[in-house]
Amino acid sequence: MHWFRLARYISVAILALCLNGITYAEQPAWPQFRGPGGLGIAPDDQVYPAELDTSRNLLWKTKVSKGHSSPCIWGNSIFITGCSGNVLEAICIDRGDGKIKWRQTVEPKEMEKIHSMNSYASPTPVCDGNHV
């Protein structure tokens, strides 16, 4: 498994764990890269796991296409970008059970050049509650 795929699984799992204690009525939002206001600061009033242990702290695990985007969260939805071959996609994952709600794909005529350590799915999605 490539390191970026493992990092992606861990990123999505951590966000799911961190936001699990928040009720859906509170509509948690991490609407862009580095969260609200771009500050990268999580709410102080939440309890976060002190260690990553899949036997105790893992709520769900979902296979997604590879990419380097940070997850974006709005309410019960986690949005990420992915790439499989020449297909770019935006993916919406249910925060509660990890099931994929939808995928929006596009296949460009030509893929632009990227650095070998980068991914075509590097852009982090943003959300305003109505649009991604």
The percent of residues in the chain predicted with pLDDT above 90, rounded, is 22
Provide the pLDDT for residue 122: 78
User: What is the structure's pLDDT at 25?
Assistant: 43
pTM: 0.71
Q: Assess whether pLDDT exceeds 90 at residue 123.
A: no
pLDDT tens readout for residues 52-99? 787 877 888 899 988 888 888 899 999 999 988 889 999 999 999 999
Gap between the Cα atoms of 90 and 81, Å rounded: 4
What CATH number was assigned to the domain covering residues 3-40+56-106? 2.40.10
Dihedral angle sign, alpha carbons of residues 109, 114, 117, 121:
negative
Q: What is the pLDDT of residues 30-55, one digit of tens each?
A: 777 777 777 777 777 777 777 878 78
Distance between CA atoms of residues 130 and 64, nearest Å: 23
- The stretch 111-126 carries a mean pLDDT of 82
Strands, E assignment, 1-132: 29-30, 72-74, 77-84, 87-94, 100-106
Q: Please report, for the chain, the start and end positions of each structural domain, with discontinuous segments joined by +.
A: 3-40+56-106
Q: What is the mean pLDDT of the chain?
A: 78
